[in-house]
């Protein structure tokens, strides 16, 4: 009987301390936080997980503000969503796209066991909390504008008076963390292992560690054009496929195609104009040579003629 | 509604984070789940401060934030170092100490 009355009193007191606006804020922000947490677990892509976690942390920060802790709420938003989650995103971008999870289950039944464990932990925590805290009357709300409230002034008073030594210890922690990060993330790019010498690179190229020993042919530079879109030409006047830029080739530009065709035609004409007379003179020279040197080409020509005649 | 509901929300978030640590294979996502657990504990600390009408719980949440920031820096540096040598961020590939 007595516990019942205290329970009723406690609930009356609790109802007095939680305003309707706070209840509305809780029932809006709480499900958002839970949805963000679930989304973080179930998102296949790690970047999506990070963004879901940002949602959860934002709503948690607003819940702090609702609970008369405005300084902590803003610190949550600035430090967690602003700094820590952006650090996570930076590392995700450096680690790359392959950071998404594998669907493979390495330990058999692990996910089922984890889900069961989670349900069990949630049940134990919820049961303990509801049993322990139903008859605890909450204190009257703190006023953030008084020195003892949840504002920055009240927090600063407590931190710099009662918690001064732990606060100083956090500075040591932060310096140690910064040093640790520098030591762990440092790569000695200029030591002997870090950078290969020119000789090592050449040997590695010819050993086959790279695609090809020589660099790819660059774009062509001619009297008619000097743009990167101009392909290099092989000795026979055709376009060298390795000199084509993938990016430019994938751009659907009619202008580029017209230019390419024009260039192809001009270069072929040039090549013909250059090679033609030379080829003729070379042929006449070889003709003269063969004429002077008598029979050697004649049998092949005769054999060819003979086969054609037979055919 | 009583402030206990905040504690229930905190317990739920903590549980989700713990399940995420057990289920996910990507080291960075596991790390994010740990952050979620720290945040859930922060919410319960703020709620305790509010229930007790005392600001000490908020100070503890503040210190948790500082420690979490330091932890994130070192942890991400470790993950980067592992990724640089193993070319993988999966916790299944980091089994050098297994046998």
pLDDT at A192: 59
pLDDT at A280: 45
Are the CB atoms for B62 and A155 separated by under 8 Å?
yes
Domain ranges of chain B: 1-84
Dist CA A3 CA A1 (whole Å)? 5
User: CB–CB of B54 and A139 under 8 A?
Assistant: yes
Mean pLDDT value across residues B7-29: 92
Mean pLDDT value across residues B6-14: 93
CB-nearest partner of B32 from A40, A129, A170? A40
Q: Which positions of chain A have pLDDT values less than 50? A: 1-16, 279-311
CB-nearest partner of A92 from B23, B28, B88? B28
Are the CB atoms for A76 and A35 separated by under 8 Å?
no
CA distance from start to end of chain B: 53
User: CB–CB of B32 and A149 under 8 A?
Assistant: no
List, as ranges, residues 134-153 from A with C-beta within 8 Å of B: 134, 136, 138-142, 148-150
pLDDT at A11: 46
pLDDT band for position B99 (cuts 50, 70, 90): low
What pLDDT digit, counting tens, does each position of A10-53 carry?
A: 444 444 467 888 899 999 999 999 999 999 999 888 899 999 99
List, as ranges, residues 158-197 from A with C-beta within 8 Å of B: 158-159, 162-163, 166, 170, 173-174, 176-178, 180-181, 184-185, 187
pLDDT at B21 over 50: yes
pLDDT band for position B46 (cuts 50, 70, 90): very high
Nearest residue of A to residue B31, measured between CA atoms:
A88
- Which tokens belong to A151? 């504002």
Indicate the range of A91-95, A271-275, B30-34, B54-58 predicted with least confidence.
A271-275
Phi, psi of B90 (to 5 degrees): -90, 135
- Which tokens belong to A305? 């003629």
pLDDT at B63: 94
CB-nearest partner of B19 from A18, A87, A114? A114
User: CB–CB of B43 and A14 under 8 A?
Assistant: no
* Segment (H or E) for B23: helix B4-23
Q: Please indicate whether residue A246 or residue B35 has the higher confidence score (pLDDT).
A: B35
Q: Please indicate whether residue A225 or residue B14 has the higher confidence score (pLDDT).
A: B14
What's this model's pTM, rounded to 2 decimal places?
0.67
pLDDT at A194: 62
- Which tokens belong to B83? 């990724």
Dist CA B17 CA B30 (whole Å)? 9
User: CB–CB of A41 and B58 under 8 A?
Assistant: no
pLDDT at A38: 95
**Would you state the CATH architecture of domain B1-84?**
Orthogonal Bundle (1.10)
- Provide the 3-class DSSP secondary structure of residue A208: coil
pLDDT at A157: 86
ipTM score over 0.90, yes or no? yes
Phi, psi of A235 (to 5 degrees): -55, -30
Dist CA A227 CA A232 (whole Å)? 11
Are the CB atoms for A33 and A57 separated by under 8 Å?
no
pLDDT at A100: 56
pLDDT at A289: 41
> Between vectors from CA B35 to CA A60 and to CA B4, what angle results, nearest 5°?
40
Within 8 A of A18 by CB-CB distance, chain B residues are 1-3
Among A266, A60, A165, A234, CA closest to B44: A60
Dist CA A62 CA A58 (whole Å)? 6
A195, with CB counted inside 10 A (0-12, 13-18, 19+), is exposed
pLDDT at B54: 84
What pLDDT digit, counting tens, does each position of B59-77 carry?
A: 999 999 999 999 999 999 9
């Amino acid at each position: 009987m007595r516990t019942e009355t205290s329970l009723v009193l406690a609930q009356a007191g609790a109802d007095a301390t939680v305003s309707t606006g706070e209840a509305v804020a809780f029932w809006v922000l709480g499900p958002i936080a839970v949805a963000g947490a679930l989304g973080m677990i179930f998102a296949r892509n790690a970047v999506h997980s990070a963004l879901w976690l940002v949602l959860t942390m934002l709503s948690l920060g607003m819940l702090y503000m609702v609970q008369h802790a405005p300084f902590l709420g803003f610190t949550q938003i600035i430090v967690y969503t602003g700094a820590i989650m952006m650090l996570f995103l930076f590392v995700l971008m450096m680690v790359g796209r392959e950071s998404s999870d594998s669907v493979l289950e390495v330990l058999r039944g692990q996910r089922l066991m984890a889900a069961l464990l989670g349900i069990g932990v949630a049940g134990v925590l919820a049961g303990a909390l509801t049993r322990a805290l139903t008859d605890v009357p909450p204190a009257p709300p703190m006023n953030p504008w008084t020195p003892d409230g949840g504002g920055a002034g009240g927090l600063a008073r407590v931190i710099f008076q009662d918690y001064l030594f732990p606060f100083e210890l956090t500075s040591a922690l932060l310096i140690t963390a910064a040093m640790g990060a520098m030591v762990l993330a440092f790569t000695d790019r200029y030591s002997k292992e870090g950078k290969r010498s020119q000789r090592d690179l050449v040997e590695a190229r010819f050993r086959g560690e790279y695609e090809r020993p020589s660099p790819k042919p660059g774009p062509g530079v001619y009297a008619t054009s000097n743009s990167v879109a101009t392909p290099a030409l092989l000795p026979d006047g055709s376009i060298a496929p390795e000199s084509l830029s993938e990016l430019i080739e994938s751009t659907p530009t009619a202008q580029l195609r017209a230019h390419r065709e024009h260039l192809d035609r001009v270069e072929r004409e040039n090549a013909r104009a250059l090679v033609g007379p030379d080829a003729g003179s070379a042929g006449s020279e070889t003709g003269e040579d063969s004429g002077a040197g008598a029979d050697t080409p004649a049998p092949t020509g005769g054999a060819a003629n003979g086969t054609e005649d037979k055919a | 509604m009583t402030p206990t509901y905040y504690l229930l929300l905190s317990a739920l978030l903590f549980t989700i984070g713990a399940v995420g640590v057990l289920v996910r294979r990507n080291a960075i996502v596991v790390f994010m789940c740990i952050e979620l657990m720290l945040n859930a504990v922060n919410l319960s600390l703020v709620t305790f401060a509010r229930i007790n009408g005392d600001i000490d719980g908020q100070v503890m949440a503040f210190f948790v934030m500082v420690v979490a920031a330091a932890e994130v820096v070192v942890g991400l540096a470790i993950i980067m170092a592992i990724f640089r040598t193993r070319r993988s961020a999966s916790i299944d590939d980091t089994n050098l100490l297994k046998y």
